Amino acid sequence: MERLRQLKERVRRGGTGLIPYITAGDPDPEQTVRIMHALADNGADVLELGLAFSDPVADGPVIQRAARRALDHGIGIPGVLEMIREFRRQSQIPVVLMGYMNPVFRYGPEAFVRDLSRAGGDGLIVADLPYEEGEQMEKSCARAGVSLIYLLAPEISSERTRRILASTRGFVYCLSQYSTTGSGKTLKPELKRAVHSIREGTDLPVAVGFGVSSIKRAVAVSRFADAIVFGSWLISHLEKSTDRPAAAASFMKKLRSAVNGRGSESTI
């Protein structure tokens, strides 16, 4: 939880936070940790690590493929926690785990967040946990020192939005669209207004994800959001490479340079 304040510090200094997503165990456990380091060493502010699940209802085909590759390696919660522990031996970049309620429920929510914290995890996103059913998970995370981060719809402030903002920790995760990861061809004009409205209700950084799929789009989002979350775009890029850690490093360097310069001439 304390490490997540690094993101707030970058935003306070006028920078844009970059939050890459990869699936733990894709393409295999050893490469996952190497990719995590490559991302952390080349501009990532927070790492979002996916917990593979057989029915990832919030994810599009790219992350579905990544989850299947991880599951084919037999990766479950214990294996993911071991990857975080290994990564933590050399890096203090915050790690947020994203998954679904079914594996967490089977493991035991209280034990899960406790073990996540002990492994070096800083935050948790449960994609199919609605705010209305999250009270017990909020309490478990608070006891373990883990930030529970809700997914927030891109809407102008409502009473439900205000309640979610009051319960979210670490950073606010605003979806760019009402759809699965990796979909959507354009950014809706309403997104900018929604982010500004959300920012009025919180002092946490506001990150936008689900649909950031190009340098041009990342730069556009960086003009009004505090941070950018990207997964399908990154994983699609890595799938084409024979050296995924090197490809991850190159990807992050180009994206960090483009966002820092607010330019769109680079391509990935």
Q: Tens of pLDDT along 86-101?
A: 999 999 999 999 999 9
pLDDT of residue 184: 62
Q: Above 80 in pLDDT, residue 265?
A: no
| Dist CA 116 CA 123 (whole Å) | 9
Whole-number pLDDT of residue 154? 80
* Total number of residues shown for the chain: 268
Alpha helices in 41-178 (DSSP H): 61-72, 77-88, 101-107, 109-119, 135-144, 159-167
For the chain, how far is it from start to end, CA to CA, in angstroms? 32
Catalytic position from the list 26, 59, 122, 226: 59
pLDDT in tens, 240-258: 999 999 999 999 999 999 9
Q: Where would I find the H helices in 91-134?
A: 101-107, 109-119
In this predicted structure, what is the pLDDT of residue 79? Answer: 97
* Residue 59 annotated as catalytic: yes
Mean pLDDT of all residues in 127-138: 95
Decide if pLDDT at 34 tops 90: yes
Dist CA 28 CA 15 (whole Å): 33
Distance CA 2, CA 231 (A): 24
Q: pTM for the complete prediction?
A: 0.94
**Which one from 45, 48, 122, 226 is the annotated catalytic residue?**
48
In this prediction, residue 91 carries a pLDDT of 96
Q: Are 22 and 230 in contact (CB under 8 A)?
A: no
Which segment, 82-86, 151-155, 188-192, is predicted with the most confidence on average?
82-86
Q: How many CB atoms lie within 10 A of CB 99?
A: 24
* pLDDT band, very low/low/confident/very high, at 62 (cuts 50, 70, 90): very high
Q: Name the percent of the chain lying above pLDDT 70.
A: 94
* 115 phi/psi in degrees, rounded to 5: -70, -35
What amino acid occupies position 23?
T
Domains within the chain, CATH numbers bracketed: 5-258 (3.20.20.70)
Helix or strand holding residue 185 (H, E): none
Q: Directed axis angle between helix 77-88 and helix 109-119, to 10°?
A: 20
pLDDT mean over 41-51: 97
CB 50 within 8 A of CB 66: yes
SS3 state of residue 121: coil
